[in-house]
A and B are shown apart, each in its own frame.
Chain A
Amino acid sequence: MEENEKKEDPVKIAGPYDNVKISVKILDRVIAGGIIAAVALILISVF
């Protein structure tokens, strides 16, 4: 009976980032790094 109930649970499928093994801290650095690089490129182009 329990087994049947388990089978009928809504299925959870893997999202695109479920297998990502990266910490939020590193992502924060990627975001900050990307924005700093973009700002630097704009400033280099202008001045």
Chain B
Amino acid sequence: MSLKVKSKIEGIKAMDKADQRKWFKELLINNSLFIFIIIAVIFIQIQRPEFLGKESIVNIISLSAAAMPLALGIAGAIILTGTDLSAGRIVGLTACVAASLLQMGDYANKMFPNLPEIPVLVVFLAVVLMGAFIGGLNGTFISKLNLHPFIVTLATQLMLYGLILMYLMNGNNNGQAISGLDEKYTSLIKGSLFSIGSTPVPNFVLFVIVLTVVMWVVWNKTEFGKNMFAVGANSEAANVSGVNVSRTITKVFLLAGALYAVSGFIEAARIGSNSANTGFNYEMDGIAACVIGGVSFVGGIGKISGVIMGVVLLKLIFVGLSFLSVSVNMIYIIKGLIILVACAIDMRKYLVRK
């Protein structure tokens, strides 16, 4: 047992009965959402024993991996006491652009029939640059004009939706969903190098694992990461300490935009048919996952492990509810309640600390 855990247990033993009861109550309330989700998972498993089968686990892992880059981007914005409502639409736009540039050469409804074959990597870099550019614009408006992220990203979201609708009218497409993707692209994302049991795990899960490790290094081991937490905790104090607050905010949103583009690139191939609805409301799931994972709206608080936990638990409960045949309408209500409870827990932690 580690020294930290040992000393914590000794500290609890040294408390009197009333303090121990108070400590236990705090522990229960602060982790009430996790407890709820774990009990729900056990309940679903009893009702539907196939829920935690290999196929279902691979499905949950795949869904979580697809949502992870977006959640990591939004987490950065929340750490700065902001938010990003444009995330889903950036995913949608980058997914549509990636799909339109990587359609099969002989596909009848190809958006750009005369387009030569473009290497997948070039399209990937192009959409990541596009996402970073949009994110950078968000960041510039927020940091230079001192506007609230909520308003800036709301405006960006609307503009991007308009752009997606216009983009879908291009060439031969006439507003239809973009499908018929190049096999090189779909096999890169959906192909599989290894399996769990006999169920293949798609390649994009591996890409997302690598990306998450890179983001952990960025958050915890780089000057930029430390500046991000410093600005989120107290921007005035960070400024006094010599941190370039404006540049840090711009960089966080730029990085977030690039991460949404990665999500878009994965989503385009994963779902195969991309319309104006691709990415719709994804930001809500991302924000919910971050809040559940302990990324605080107070600012300056959040861990990569928390974001992973939040994303996986959220997918686990919703896949589980689908297993129980709970209607989609009801799932929306439950999702809203979970976000509300997560915010109340976040607020409670802050008030108790104060």
Contacts and interface: CB of A to CB of B under 8 A. Distances in A.
What 3 A-B pairs are tightest by C-beta distance, nearest first? A34-B341, A11-B236, A45-B326
A37 B298 contact: no
B236 A38 contact: no
Contacts of B325: 45
Interface in A2-47: 10-13, 15-17, 20, 22, 24, 27-28, 30-32, 34-35, 37-39, 41-42, 45-46
Given A28-B348, A35-B341, 6 more contacts: A10-B237, A11-B237, A17-B347, A27-B344, A31-B348, A35-B337
Contact of B47 (A17, A37, A46): A46
A11 B240 contact: yes
Interface of B: 29, 32-33, 36, 40, 43, 47, 81, 234-237, 240, 297-299, 321, 324-327, 330, 333-334, 337-338, 340-341, 344-345, 347-348, 350-352
A31 B344 CA distance: 6
Nearest to A23: B351
A38 B333 CA distance: 8
B347 A35 contact: no
A41 B298 contact: no
Contacts of B33: 35
Q: Name A's interface SS.
A: helix
B299 A30 contact: no
A17 to B, nearest CB: 5
B249 to A, nearest CB: 15
B340 to A, nearest CB: 5
A38 B36 contact: yes
Given A30-B344, A31-B341, A31-B344, A15 B36 contact: no
Contacts of A16: 81, 297-299
Interface residues of A, number: 24
A42 B326 contact: yes
B234 to A, nearest CB: 6
12 contacts: A17-B298, A24-B351, A27-B348, A31-B29, A31-B341, A35-B32, A35-B337, A38-B334, A41-B334, A42-B321, A42-B334, A45-B321
A1 to B, nearest CB: 20
A45 B240 contact: no
B345 A31 contact: yes
A45 B327 contact: yes
A30 B350 CA distance: 15
Nearest to B30: A31
A27 B6 CA distance: 32
B324 A39 contact: no
A13 B245 CA distance: 15
Given A27-B344, A31-B29, A41-B333, A17 B324 contact: no
A22 B343 CA distance: 14
Contacts of A24: 348, 351-352
A12 B29 CA distance: 29
Given A15-B350, A16-B298, A27-B344, A35 B36 contact: yes
